[in-house]
């Protein structure tokens, strides 16, 4: 990020809320479920499928979890009613994983059961290192109870990730289903890579390892290095659009899934790459957040954006270019 970009990031908290809202609207689908459905209907035309995230993170009292349990229930109903090709992404700490893990697990299990009855997959987003092991364990216990429509996210930046891929494979076999990304949390250097190129190459290694274990792999990155690496890795393993998954260790293709892999991108980020991949026939999934907590999410995405100054200028002066 250049000097101007860094200066813009510094003054972001001082920007009026409506202005942040206007610029960051590309990153979320609106405040309510009906806006999310509208956005998905529009993006379906670009060959995308979806994973829906109700905005909000770690809660501080168990009462707050009720909102997420009910809202995700409504999301499931909407997916079933509309027939939109979508699954769920949820954050375990929003269900109370760090306050009352038993209740949190019970609430998540209810959603996963309902989703299973309708061939809908549930992804547990991965949060910071405090919950890495509890999240992986939760997924394993769900599988143990016969719920195989759940998986989590493994973060390339964590030193433990290659080991986690191996261990999860030993437990879940071909039912292992990972989203692999760099990891958004700035973790300490005793447990994580901290340099940009180290994180990128560790993420590429994690993608390779997950492919080699026969796991289903959601490649979640907008980084052209990672997308290019993944395309080569897929080709090397004889995988690609329209080709039945040739890996010996892989299971049969599941409903709502690609042939062993898919590409995943955040709403509003590098739509050009996503549309190109979709045109080539790859399954592409948009991570689609919605909800009243859009401000915090929008600011985080703007902070991450290397061209933040240009994007703000463009959104304000050429609003039609502020595309989701």
Q: Is 125 one of the annotated active-site residues of the chain?
A: yes
Residue 305 touching ligand FDA (CB under 6 A): yes
Residue 87 touching ligand FDA (CB under 6 A): no
Cα separation, 196 vs 203, in Å, equals 11
Residue 195 touching ligand FDA (CB under 6 A): no
Residue 158 touching ligand FDA (CB under 6 A): no
Q: Which residue number, 102 or 137, has a Cβ lying nearer to ligand FDA? A: 137
In angstroms, give the least distance from the CB of 306 to ligand FDA. Answer: 5
In angstroms, give the least distance from the CB of 102 to ligand FDA. Answer: 23
Binding mask 210-249 for ligand FDA (x = CB under 6 A): ----------xxxx--x-----------------------
Residue 67 touching ligand FDA (CB under 6 A): no
In angstroms, give the least distance from the CB of 238 to ligand FDA. Answer: 25
Could you tell me which stretch among 41-49, 59-67, 241-249, 265-273 binds ligand FDA (CB under 6 A)? 265-273
Structure tokens at 301: 């995405």
Q: Which residue number, 85 or 249, has a Cβ lying nearer to ligand FDA? A: 85
- Nearest CA-CA partner of 168 in 119, 132, 202, 221: 132
> Can you tell me which of 250, 266, 277, 312 binds ligand FDA, judged by CB under 6 A?
266
Residue 265 touching ligand FDA (CB under 6 A): yes
> Can you tell me which of 142, 150, 181, 213 binds ligand FDA, judged by CB under 6 A?
181
Q: Is 179 one of the annotated active-site residues of the chain?
A: yes
Residue 49 touching ligand FDA (CB under 6 A): no
- Nearest CA-CA partner of 289 in 17, 32, 109, 13: 32
Residue 304 touching ligand FDA (CB under 6 A): yes
Catalytic residue among 179, 274, 283, 301: 179
Cα separation, 252 vs 174, in Å, equals 9
Q: φ and ψ at 178, to 5 degrees?
A: -115, 145
In angstroms, give the least distance from the CB of 186 to ligand FDA. Answer: 10
Residue 132 touching ligand FDA (CB under 6 A): no
- Nearest CA-CA partner of 141 in 165, 112, 98: 112
In angstroms, give the least distance from the CB of 303 to ligand FDA. Answer: 8
> Can you tell me which of 80, 103, 231, 269 binds ligand FDA, judged by CB under 6 A?
269
The site that binds ligand FDA (CB under 6 A) totals a number of residues, namely: 25
Q: Which residue number, 103 or 269, has a Cβ lying nearer to ligand FDA? A: 269
With beta carbons less than 8 A apart as the criterion, state whether 74 and 81 touch.
Answer: no
Could you tell me which stretch among 114-122, 179-187, 246-254, 274-282 binds ligand FDA (CB under 6 A)? 179-187
Residues catalogued as catalytic = 125, 179
Contacting positions for ligand FDA (CB under 6 A): 125-126, 153, 155, 179, 181-185, 220-223, 226, 264-266, 269-270, 287, 301, 304-306
């Amino acid at each position: 990020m250049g000097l101007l970009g860094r200066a813009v990031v510094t003054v972001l908290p001082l920007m009026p809320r409506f202005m942040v809202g206007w610029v960051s609207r590309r990153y979320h689908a609106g405040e309510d479920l009906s806006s999310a459905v509208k956005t998905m209907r529009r993006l379906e035309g670009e060959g995308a499928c979806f994973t829906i995230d109700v905005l909000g993170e770690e809660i501080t009292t168990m009462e707050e979890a009720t909102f997420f349990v009910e809202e995700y229930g409504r999301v499931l109903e909407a997916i079933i009613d509309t027939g939109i090709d979508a699954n769920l992404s949820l954050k375990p700490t929003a269900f109370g994983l760090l306050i009352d893990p038993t209740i949190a697990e019970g609430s998540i299990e209810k959603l996963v059961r309902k989703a299973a009855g309708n061939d809908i997959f549930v992804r547990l987003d991965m949060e910071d290192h405090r919950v890495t092991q509890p999240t992986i364990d939760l997924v394993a216990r769900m599988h143990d109870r016969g719920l195989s429509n759940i998986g989590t996210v493994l973060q390339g930046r964590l030193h433990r990730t290659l080991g986690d891929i191996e261990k999860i494979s030993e437990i879940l076999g071909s039912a292992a289903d990972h989203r692999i990304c760099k990891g958004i949390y700035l973790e300490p250097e005793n447990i994580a890579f901290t340099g940009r190129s180290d994180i990128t190459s560790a993420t590429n290694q994690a993608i390779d390892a997950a492919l080699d274990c026969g796991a289903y792999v959601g490649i979640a990155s907008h980084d052209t290095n990672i997308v290019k690496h993944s395309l080569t890795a897929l080709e090397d393993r004889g995988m690609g659009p329209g080709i039945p998954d040739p890996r010996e260790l892989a299971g049969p293709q599941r409903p709502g899934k690609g042939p062993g892999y898919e590409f995943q991108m955040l709403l509003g980020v590098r739509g050009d790459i996503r549309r190109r991949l979709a045109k080539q026939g790859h399954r592409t999934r948009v991570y689609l957040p919605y909800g009243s907590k859009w401000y915090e999410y929008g600011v985080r995405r703007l902070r991450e954006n290397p061209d933040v100054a240009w994007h703000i200028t463009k959104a304000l002066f050429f609003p039609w270019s502020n595309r989701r």
